[in-house]
Amino acid sequence: MTGNQVRVLIADDQRLFAEALEAILTTDGRIAVVGRAANGEEAVALVRGDRPDVVLMDIAMPILDGIAATEAIAAETPATRVVVLTGSDAPEDITRARAAGAAGYVTKDQIAGDLVRAILAAAGR
């Protein structure tokens, strides 16, 4: 891992999806996946400790949902940007994510190139 890579945490309760996403992202040399969280509470805790540049956050997760986790991350660790990555393209979910402090919103059906662009944009690269 080099200092110029964008450090990404994946927060998604669907383990196989998270593993596949990690495999895709690690093929891009500009991105380093630094961890995975299976719920919002775990995501907030990992951000506190690891300070990733970007969190890919699912909305629907157990214990603490992605909106509440995004709010906590934005309040506690504003240097870490959250990109919501979810199956929903409902306008109300997009509005809630933005209000919580999300820097971006990508649906799971978009191609990997769109996701990489959203990660790099959120990280200011």
pLDDT digits (tens, 9 = 90+) for 72-114: 999 999 999 999 998 888 889 899 999 999 999 988 887 677 8
What would the two tokens of residue 67 be?
A: 């909106």
pLDDT of res. 114: 82
Closest CA to 122 of 6, 35, 42, 36: 6
Give the confidence band of 1 by pLDDT, cuts at 50, 70, 90. Answer: very low
6 backbone dihedrals φ, ψ, rounded to 5°: -80, 120
Q: How many residues make up the chain in this entry?
A: 125
- Cα 35 to Cα 19, 78, 95, 100: the distances in Å are 10, 19, 27, 22
Mean pLDDT of 22-39: 94
pLDDT of res. 2: 53
**Surface-to-core class of residue 15, CB atoms within 10 Å of its CB (0-12 exposed, 13-18 middle, 19+ buried):** exposed
Does residue 53 register a pLDDT over 80? yes
Closest CA to 43 of 80, 17, 79: 80
One-letter amino acid at 50 equals D
